[in-house]
Structure formats: structure tokens, C-alpha cells
Structure 1
């Protein structure tokens, strides 16, 4: 079973090994796949963020949501749609019978269902 963990940024380690305490800030350039470091003397250095482009990084919650947001949205919408259909069907069945006992039976059935 895969575990969700924070992705380790290889570029951070490379830049820390190169410059140590002389780094003032670092940022991740996701488009280029690099980590950029701004040094104390005003210069800029960068390092690749992956050891190998074929390396599969561990999944995080954010990466799963970013990749599967359409699927998760469709499942959520389908669940709400199905719940609405079931609710509308129960209301329609309750309205079919002119007998008030049928409406009472359908509205109180859940109270007797769990023993």
C-alpha cells in the first residue's frame, strides 16, 4: 500500500551542499523542474529537482487532488445526484397514496429499521 509523504526535493540538498549557510532564500520552479537559490552575495544558483526524469516521485495528497480533480468532482456530483433522485423518489412514493397511513409509514420507516 503506497504511503502519502512529502516529496523530497533533490535540488534543495544539492544547493545546500554547494553553498551551505550562504543561501538567503530558495524557491521551486515547477515548470523547469529546478530549485533556485538566492545567495547572500546577490548571485543566483539552481539545481535540477529530479535525479532522473524517469524516477516516479511518491504521491502526496496535493498531487492526487491535482491529477484526479475531475474524477473526484464527477464522483461527488454523481453522489449528490443519486441522493437527490432517491429523495425525490421517496417523496413521489409518499404522494402516490391518498391514504395518510402510507405517508406516515414511509416517513417513520427509518425509526423501525435499526433494532
Structure 2
């Protein structure tokens, strides 16, 4: 099942288990795949951010955009083209009527 949630960082759990309430702040070092923590006494500690490199993690929104951007772009383009076609058809129909009263009725009609 596809879940769109933020991936849980293993390094946070490891550092919390090691140091508990002595952690002032944590940051993710993405290039090295680690989580770095600043401790109360000013020292730094780090932990790896993965359990196993070949572990299949649930997909997040960023991975969906990275993998399916062509499909999303094509569908967005098709929706925009369809909307432009409908607006153009409404303009053509409005101009074909020729009367200003009918144009006012078409422009004043609520969309809901």
C-alpha cells in the first residue's frame, strides 16, 4: 500500500536512545546519510540514517515527484488544455449570440 508520509529517520532514534534529554538540536547530513546531534556539553555525535541500504522504504511525496514527474506534467498539461478549450468554446458561443443581453446573462451566471 502506498503511504504518503515523511520517512522516519533511524538516526534520530539511535541518537535519542544514546543521549535522551541531553540533545540540544539535531540535523540531517544527507550527503553522508547520517543524523548529527549537538549535545548539552557542546560535543557532536552522529548516527547512520539507514538500517540496511537495500531496505524497501515506503514512498514519500518527494519520491513520487522524482519518479512520476512526466506523467504528472502530461496530466496537468492535458487539464490546462481542456480548460482553455472550454473557455474558448464559451467565448465563441457568447459572441455567436450577438446580443449584449445574452452576453451579460452568460457572464453573470454563477458557476455553482
| Alignment correspondent of 1:56 | 56
Tell me which residue corresponds to 1:112: none
Deviations 1:4-30 (A, max 9, x none): 333211101111122222211101122
Q: Distance in 1 between matches of 2:65 and 2:14?
A: 29
Give distance in 2, aligned partners of 1:33 and 1:71. 29
| SS of 1:31 mapped into structure 2 | coil
Aligned mates of 2:54, 2:44 — CA distance in 1:
27
TM-score, normalised on structure 2? 0.67
Q: In the alignment, is residue 8 of structure 1 matched against residue 40 of structure 2?
A: no
Q: Which residues in structure 2 correspond to 1:88-99 (within 5 Å)? A: 88-89=88-89, 91-92=91-92, 94=93
Counterpart Cα distance in 2 of 1:32 and 1:70 = 29
TM-score, length basis structure 1: 0.66
Residue of structure 2 equivalent to 1:40 = 40
> Please, what is the CA RMSD of the aligned residues?
3.1
- Once residues 35 and 67 of structure 2 are traced to their aligned partners in structure 1, the CA distance between those partners, rounded to angstroms, is 22
In the comparison of the two structures, how many residue pairs are matched? Answer: 103
Unaligned runs of 5+ in 2: 107-112
